[in-house]
């Protein structure tokens, strides 16, 4: 069949290619791939590039569509793909497809039409997974940003760095002033020609006021911060102390010298510990607050704590998973009061292996509320005055330390990565302003408690697996070969080796970190290795925990601040009472939701911490500091011909601080 528009095309091109109409006639009934079209239309080699350009133009002009396999068909609004927009701070974005599979890509031009979080229908443009917006099915309802008011304009700059839009404000409320942080109700979506429009619905506070950034982050990340009336009513009806009727059927361990060990500023105490020598090694008792006794499945308290998923920790503030009367009162293992608990009693042999374990509900009594600093001082000195103060529980502390040393040996044999890194701690004055940012390193008291919790979590997973119960594992998949290769290239450049080929196991990474110990760039090496790792998640399918080198692992020890632990407590109680529940798809959904709430909390906390660090450095522009190169951004590092590597020490001067973008710019001195 000859092209009816050949003469028209011959006027335009020296070597005419088939017209758009002719191409459409070939694929009207049967879609064709590019290779099939080359053959059917007798496209010569010298015509192929021009023909490919025409196909792309026809897709752009909505005459054709092209699927993932590169098959062309006449354009239609059928076959659109639904998903959620994920924006990147650099301007481009992705669509997370509702049905699963690979994310689709949105250009920076397409991102002008949507906000991060919008629900959309898109059309796939090519095999590279580029897509275009066809319809915004649900736009985000509210956004947070800084209000700019002047004589001619009224607009908000959105606080989320992933959203590049300004929002034209068409309606204010009483009290609105320039430079306030406000919540905006979105009225219309942006277009290529116009900004989105909205109205101010509430005022969070003045920019730079104490606490405003935390309130902003809570709203920005969609963290539920206020409990509903029904949930609060349920919590008010709970007793203030352990009642006699609640002790029935429980083991009385009030005489056991259990202690809690936490940070100085902790107010909710999930776990208490006790250790003693046994014939084969050690007995370890980990008593965990019995939240499930008070927060009943299906109650309003339960549904609100599930929505939160976890407590969210900010410097200087906590958004709790449960109302404070529960988290800091009735369910907190406060000193010298009786509390209901779920106990994990373990036998650990002289090699640090878990040999026996059992679970039972109990009534306990915390004999001391200790801090990591206090315990570390007691461990470092037999003459510490604290030993006299805590004479009653002194033996327990020493036994816990003996057990910890055994568990450390087991940890090293197992090949567990040691990620003890120097982290920053923000210190505040009495007015809530940043006083200083200091380095914080964990001590043996931190590690002691961590090892005890790891053993209890492992025992819980093993027990529930044996009982075939419905619960969530805490899994940590192996890193991808691609990430391993990138890390290995960095390590080779600094004379370190990562063994194990494309799929190194945990022990290979552990050996590497051991070889890096004591180097000036040790903290950077740990950071790079951490970036190699995948994210840990919650799932009913056991895939093991790569980082901890455990085959079975779950979260059992923090039901006050993590909902997955509350699920595990309920599962243990079902197993103990032989009231088993069939496994269901609900756990898959719960795992996905709770993995999301954990990421949400981490993102919000990191956001606020970055902002506070920028605020602290605002008045230090022009000052010089010694530092270490911890990463290389896409735009590189400029320094007058010198060669810089990750981990190199460097002296820098603060060039600028941008609070909106949470960026501090340094220049080499």
How much is the pLDDT for 358? 97
Evaluate if residue 164 carries a pLDDT over 90.
no
Mean pLDDT of all residues in 500-511: 90
Mean pLDDT of all residues belonging to the chain: 91
**Poorest-confidence range of 16-30, 353-367, 554-568?**
16-30
Cα distances (angstroms) measured from residue 93 to each of 163, 492, 516: 10, 33, 37
How much is the pLDDT for 586? 92
- Under the banding of pLDDT at 50, 70 and 90, the label for residue 209 is confident
How much is the pLDDT for 669? 86
Nearest in space to 598 (alpha carbons), one of 521, 657, 535, 552: 535
Mean pLDDT of all residues in 348-358: 95
Percent of the chain whose predicted confidence (pLDDT) is above 90: 64
Token readout for 609 is 């911490």
Evaluate if residue 558 carries a pLDDT over 60.
yes
Q: How far apart are CA 147 and CA 180, in angstroms?
A: 5
Out of 293-307, 409-423, 569-583, give the one with best mean pLDDT: 293-307
Structural domains of the chain, ranges and CATH numbers in brackets: 6-74 (no CATH), 81-138 (2.40.50.140), 142-207 (2.40.50.640), 229-477+534-609 (no CATH), 482-526 (no CATH), 621-668 (no CATH)
Evaluate if residue 21 carries a pLDDT over 80.
yes
Evaluate if residue 120 carries a pLDDT over 80.
yes
Nearest in space to 23 (alpha carbons), one of 45, 80, 11, 50: 50
How much is the pLDDT for 289? 97
Contacts 24+ apart (CB under 8 A), 67-72: 67/124, 68/124, 68/127, 68/129, 69/33, 69/127, 70/33, 70/34, 70/126, 70/127, 71/31, 71/32, 71/33, 72/27, 72/31, 72/32, 72/33, 72/34, 72/37
Mean pLDDT of all residues in 621-650: 74
Convert the pLDDT of each residue in 76-100 to its tens digit: 777 789 999 999 988 899 999 998 8
């Amino acid at each position: 069949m000859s092209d009816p528009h050949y003469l028209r095309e011959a006027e335009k091109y020296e070597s005419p290619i088939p017209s758009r109409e002719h191409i459409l006639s070939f694929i009207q009934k049967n879609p064709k791939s590019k290779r099939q079209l080359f053959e059917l239309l007798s496209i010569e080699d010298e015509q192929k590039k021009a023909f490919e350009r025409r196909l792309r133009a026809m897709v752009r002009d909505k005459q054709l569509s092209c699927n993932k396999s590169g098959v062309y068909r006449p354009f239609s609004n059928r076959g659109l793909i639904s998903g959620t927009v994920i924006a990147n701070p650099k301007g481009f974005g992705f669509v997370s497809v509702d049905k699963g599979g690979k994310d689709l890509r949105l250009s920076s031009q397409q991102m002008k039409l949507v906000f991060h979080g919008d629900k959309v229908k898109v059309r796939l443009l090519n095999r590279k997974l580029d897509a275009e917006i066809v319809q915004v099915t649900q736009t985000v309802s509210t956004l947070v940003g800084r209000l700019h008011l002047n004589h001619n304009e009224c607009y908000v700059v959105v606080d989320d760095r992933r959203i590049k839009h300004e929002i034209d404000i068409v309606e204010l409320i009483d009290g609105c002033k320039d430079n306030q942080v406000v919540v905006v109700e979105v009225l219309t979506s942006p277009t290529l020609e116009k900004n989105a429009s909205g109205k101010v619905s509430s005022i969070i506070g003045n920019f730079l006021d104490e606490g405003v950034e935390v309130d902003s982050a809570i709203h920005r990340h969609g963290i539920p911060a206020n409990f509903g009336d029904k949930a609060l009513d349920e919590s008010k009806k709970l007793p203030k102390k352990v009642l006699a009727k609640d002790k029935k059927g429980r083991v009385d361990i009030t005489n056991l010298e259990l202690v809690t060990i936490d940070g100085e500023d902790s107010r909710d105490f999930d776990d208490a510990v006790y250790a003693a020598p046994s014939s084969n090694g050690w007995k370890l008792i980990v008593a965990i607050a019995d939240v499930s006794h008070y927060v009943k499945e299906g109650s309003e308290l339960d549904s609100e704590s599930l929505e939160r998923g976890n407590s969210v920790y900010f410097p200087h503030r906590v958004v709790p998973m449960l109302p404070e009367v529960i988290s800091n009162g009735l369910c907190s293992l406060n000193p010298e009061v009786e509390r209901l608990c779920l106990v994990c009693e373990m036998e650990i042999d002289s090699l640090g292996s878990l040999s026996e374990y059992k679970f039972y509900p109990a009534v306990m009594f915390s004999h001391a509320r200790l801090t990591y600093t206090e315990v570390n001082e007691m461990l470092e000195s037999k003459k510490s005055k604290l030993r006299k103060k805590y004479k009653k529980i002194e033996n327990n502390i020493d036994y816990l330390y003996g057990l910890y040393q055994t568990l450390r040996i087991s940890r090293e044999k197992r090949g567990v990565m040691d990620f003890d890194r120097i982290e920053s701690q923000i210190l505040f004055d009495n007015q809530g302003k940043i006083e200083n940012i200091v380095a914080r390193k964990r001590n043996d008291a931190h590690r002691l408690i961590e090892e005890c919790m790891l053993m209890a979590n492992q025992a819980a997973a093993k027990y529930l697996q044996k009982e075939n119960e419905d619960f969530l594992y805490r899994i940590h998949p192996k890193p991808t070969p691609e990430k391993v290769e990138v890390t290995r290239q960095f390590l080779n450049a600094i004379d370190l080796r990562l063994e194990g080929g494309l799929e190194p196991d945990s022990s290979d990474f552990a050996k590497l970190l051991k070889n890096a110990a004591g180097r000036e760039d040790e903290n950077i090496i740990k950071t790079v290795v951490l970036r190699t790792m995948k994210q840990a998640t919650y799932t009913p399918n056991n895939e093991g925990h790569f980082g901890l080198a455990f085959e079975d692992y779950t979260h059992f020890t923090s039901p006050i601040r993590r909902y997955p632990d509350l699920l595990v407590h309920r599962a243990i109680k079902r197993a103990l009472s032989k009231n088993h529940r069939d496994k269901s798809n609900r756990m898959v959904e719960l795992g996905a939701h709770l993995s999301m709430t954990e990421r949400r909390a981490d993102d919000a906390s990191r956001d606020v911490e970055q902002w506070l660090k920028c605020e602290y450095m605002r008045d230090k522009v022009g000052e010089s500091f010694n530092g270490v190169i911890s990463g290389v951004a896409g735009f590189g590092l400029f320094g007058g011909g010198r060669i810089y590597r990750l981990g190199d020490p460097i002296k820098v001067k603060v060039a600028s601080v941008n609070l909106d973008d949470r960026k501090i710019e340094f220049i080499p001195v």
